[in-house]
Structure 1
Amino acid sequence: MLQLKTWQVTAGSAVLGLVLATGAVTAAGPWDSGQRKAERALAAAHERPGGTHHAGNPGRRPAAPAPAPSAAAVLPALAAPGAVPGGQGLAARLDPLVRDPALGSLRTAAVYDTATGTRLYGERPDRAMTPASTTKIATAVAALSALGPDHRIPTRVVLPPPTPEAAPVGRDVQRVVLVGGGDPTLGEAGLRVLAERTARAVSERGATRVAVTFDTSLYTGPVLHPIGRNPNIAPVVPLMTDEARLDRSEHGPAERSSDPAGDTARAFAALLNQRGIRTVSAPVPGTAPKGSVAVATTHSRPVSALVERMLTNSDNDLAEALARQTALAAHLPASFDGASQAMTARLKQLGLPVAGARFADGSGLNRADRLSADLLTRLLALAADPDHPELRPVLTGLPVAGFSGTLADRYAPDTAGTGLVRAKTGTLTGVDTLAGTVVDADGRLLTFAFLSSGTLSPVARPALDRLASALTTCGCTRAP
């Protein structure tokens, strides 16, 4: 069981709970993406301009969101000696909120103290329920643990060896294969890099024309998610551009291409044409022969940044890609089934309570997913453990209440949890969940998970937010 010393949780509380108020964003870790941008913007808004080279009136602070009401109470509480939340005080605060009819016909809850490694509160915490997008917390932990935060996903262009099966279709024609590596964030800039390097390599070989093949053999199994065609997720293939979005959006529901790999290959071919390398025909699907030589490679951002983006925006395409990368790291098929096996095995290896858990996908869109509140709190506590710095993006990627990601429009400015609750949301029809971290009024870092079913989201979401906010204002202590 996780055991952290008092100084560790105090430091963690200061970094994770107060960074918005103090502006100490850059000290929190090496990953600089996702919701960090919102924190930096807020920290900058609190800096006093002055001198002749600053815009606006010298000495006046620009307008910015007010700090959360509970922020002042947290600052002195960081030095509270040995107070341990829990007991009747915490139950008295949470029980009425957990029983709110707005949370539907079935609800589970767990609150975990990262300092002592103990569960402080539980309402059927071991019962596995449909977690919706809080599944992405498990996906993030599994991917970071299996791949490491610095891993980048490649997309390659290879030239087949001069064998009879790969014979050119003309004397000046070179076959090239665009090989998908599973990066759903590949964009036009990356394709341009691939095209430029490929054109150079082809020209060096004396060819002026190419026959383009695209290879999607990295993934196996169904291409469509079990929910079918849906604006929340593209076909799950290892080669696509900008998550197959057709409206140039960066997150949220969008119309998706029905042929992401083909579209990407055709865009690549067009870029080759612009560079004087003509295609002899439309790109066709195929597999890169053994012995092919890579002539161009581009990489995704590090997995740490991909995890943050996935959690902040609840990005389903990234979730499924990271789940498959986890399967590949375990030498399992990059499919829904292979990812499920790999994620379960990885979390079990980390000592997490996976009994009853089921990962039917990596995104949480599948209603067959099952996670317990206890597992979710333990996943988050592990990410806060100083012995697992590779998991820190799980925490830095969580949306911040009232400020970023899927919590940007939740929590009113005068709500206690604004700026202090960091949590992953989860929503399916009839299912609403919330799991994340808070710093309580005694300055202790807590992880929590609340899952409910039989709900109506317009009333369930505020009820979940009230639960998380209650933790930020509650010392609810007992003697150690």
Structure 2
Amino acid sequence: MRSKAIAAALAAVLLAVLVTLVHGSWKGERLGARADDGSGRVAATAAPPVLVPVSGDPAGATPTEAGIRAVLEPLGRTTALGAPPAVAVVDALTGRLLYGANQDRAATPASTTKITTAVAALTAPGPDHRITTRVVPGPTPGTIVLVGGGDPTLTALDGRQYSGYQPARLSDLAAATAAALKASGTTQVKLQYDTSLYTGPALHAIGVNENIAPVVSLMVDEGRVDPTVVGKESNRVPSPGVDAAKKFATMLKTAGVTVDGAPTPGTAPGGGAPELASVQSPPLSAIVEQMLTVSDNDLAEALLRQVAIAKGQPASFQGGTAAARQVLEGLGVTYGASNLKDGSGLDKENRLTPLTLVQTLSTAASGTHPELRRALTGLPIAGFTGTLTDRYGPNSGAADAAGVVRAKTGSLTGVSTLSGLVRDRDGRLLAFAILADRFTGDPDPARAAIDRMAAALADCGCGTAG
């Protein structure tokens, strides 16, 4: 391993960059962001290069296939992984395959699936897209309709609980709606809620689970029973649309408009009915970053449906995955035997090849797609952020790679995966995917083995000039 002093220095540099990326406002202080004056208008700013080389030639020495094999394969033969994992390593800036071991095998990807969801969403509908939740006059006099647009960030709280983005607030929508109603002399209404934007089953294939709410186009605080539990597992309400409508009715009353009876399901009238009020989500770029860093399943499934809508597909699990595949193949990514069932990776029937993952990352790292940068800046940093915060510690056997590896994790029963970016000893930027889905028992040894493999790439001085 490279010296601890060098690793510590690299970690410090990356952490300083991280502070700028994560703790700056999503309104323009992050890498490659766009300035926002609060009116919803955005002005493009120059996107600086992402992951500038640590030192030396930007290209660096290219690792050889034999060199990578020599450092990875002994680590992959551990019994902790059950069987050698499916692995691919590419030169991130050129997309050239440097090493593969079962790189075309469609393995269970778990939450590394979110990398494909992120890139698809940043392509269509794009990083600046915002999701609108609106209120319109209903089909009968004295009725209003709360229309879900699929915003997974909409909150019934004050918004201060969310560190990754500033969410749209249901209270703001209620206040604006009440003001519009009172201006027309109305202080009592019937309330309907419209969740018709999404089609197909709302319940994920894994069933009722604290890791994900029913996927509907209207919800607040990701359908959590306790909305103050942010970024953690939590019990979910069975009908998020009903929950959101009830909270909206309470807020309307606080704002001076009484709702007659309980909210009922309905559909907004067609023909471009004028809005009474609306609120917008943060740009998808901010949602993508948050989704990747904390591995948020609700954000992932909502993003997948935005991809479906943008590509003219049904806003469902099936329509979303078909649309995401269309987008990725349009970017030149080899889909091969990959076959996804969702956008979050919770479905154990998902299949992705390591090659699909590394090509997706390489595309995001290329200079021709600056709109995809947030798919990289959202990746957790080993030992510091998100789902990698508690990994690459002092006794992990991979501590020297803390702050150097930047990757998306994945965990299901019998599955541990890691896919992301790393700079090797020579400064070459590598994209890698390590998918282990054939082990049993305790997942911690499998995660540790995969972390050591990624760390070995960081320490790989196994290149030749050229």
Q: TM-score, normalised by structure 2?
A: 0.85
1:254 aligns with 2:234: yes
Aligned 8 A contact 1:131 1:370 in 2: yes
Aligned 8 A contact 1:77 1:441 in 2: no
Secondary structure of the corresponding residue to residue 430 of structure 2:
strand
- Return closer, same or farther for 1:115/1:197 CA change in 2, 3 Å cut-off: closer
Secondary structure of the corresponding residue to residue 136 of structure 2:
strand
Aligned 8 A contact 1:324 1:336 in 2: yes
Report the alpha carbon displacement of residue 116 of structure 1 after superposing the two structures with TM: 3.8
Aligned 8 A contact 2:20 2:30 in 1: no
Aligned 8 A contact 1:106 1:453 in 2: no
Distance in 2 (CA, whole Å) between partners of 1:76 and 1:320 is 35
The alignment yields a C-alpha RMSD, in angstroms, of 2.5
- Return closer, same or farther for 1:37/1:227 CA change in 2, 3 Å cut-off: farther
1:153-302 correspondence runs (5 A): 153-160=131-138, 166-168=139-141, 174-188=142-156, 190-247=169-226, 248-291=228-271, 292-302=273-283
Aligned match of 1:327 in 274, 285, 308?
308
Secondary structure of the corresponding residue to residue 25 of structure 1:
helix
For structure 1, list consecutive stretches of 5 or more residues without a partner in the other structure.
Answer: 1-16, 40-73, 161-165, 169-173
Report the alpha carbon displacement of residue 326 of structure 1 after superposing the two structures with TM: 0.2
Secondary structure of the corresponding residue to residue 416 of structure 1:
helix
Q: TM-score, normalised by structure 1?
A: 0.83
Query: Cα deviation per residue 1:90-113 (whole Å; 9 max; x = unaligned)?
Result: 211111012222112352001111
Counterpart position of 2:40: none
Aligned 8 A contact 2:121 2:304 in 1: yes
1:144 aligns with 2:125: no
Query: Cα deviation per residue 1:254-311 (whole Å; 9 max; x = unaligned)?
Result: 1111111111101111111112211111100110111322111111111111011100
For structure 2, list consecutive stretches of 5 or more residues without a partner in the other structure.
Answer: 1-8, 32-51, 157-167
Counterpart position of 1:358: 339
Query: Cα deviation per residue 1:339-379 (whole Å; 9 max; x = unaligned)?
Result: 01101111111110011111200000011111001111111
Distance in 2 (CA, whole Å) between partners of 1:275 and 1:28 is 38
Aligned match of 2:101 in 109, 116, 123?
123
- Return closer, same or farther for 1:472/1:361 CA change in 2, 3 Å cut-off: same
Distance in 2 (CA, whole Å) between partners of 1:303 and 1:398 is 15
Runs of 4+ in structure 1 deviating by more than 6 angstroms, as ranges, are 26-31, 36-39
Aligned 8 A contact 1:343 1:359 in 2: no
Counterpart position of 2:13: 21
Secondary structure of the corresponding residue to residue 406 of structure 1:
helix
Secondary structure of the corresponding residue to residue 212 of structure 1:
strand
Distance in 2 (CA, whole Å) between partners of 1:37 and 1:244 is 30
Distance in 1 (CA, whole Å) between partners of 2:403 and 2:11 is 9
Aligned 8 A contact 1:31 1:393 in 2: no
Distance in 1 (CA, whole Å) between partners of 2:202 and 2:146 is 19
Report the alpha carbon displacement of residue 29 of structure 1 after superposing the two structures with TM: 7.7
Secondary structure of the corresponding residue to residue 124 of structure 2:
helix
Distance in 1 (CA, whole Å) between partners of 2:357 and 2:321 is 16
Aligned 8 A contact 2:95 2:363 in 1: no
1:450 aligns with 2:434: yes
Larger Rg, first or second structure (1 or 2) = 1
Report the alpha carbon displacement of residue 313 of structure 1 after superposing the two structures with TM: 0.5
Aligned 8 A contact 1:31 1:304 in 2: no
Query: Cα deviation per residue 1:8-42 (whole Å; 9 max; x = unaligned)?
Result: xxxxxxxxx958416663898899579x9999xxx
Report the alpha carbon displacement of residue 464 of structure 1 after superposing the two structures with TM: 0.4
Secondary structure of the corresponding residue to residue 130 of structure 1:
coil
Distance in 1 (CA, whole Å) between partners of 2:148 and 2:245 is 10
Distance in 2 (CA, whole Å) between partners of 1:267 and 1:470 is 51
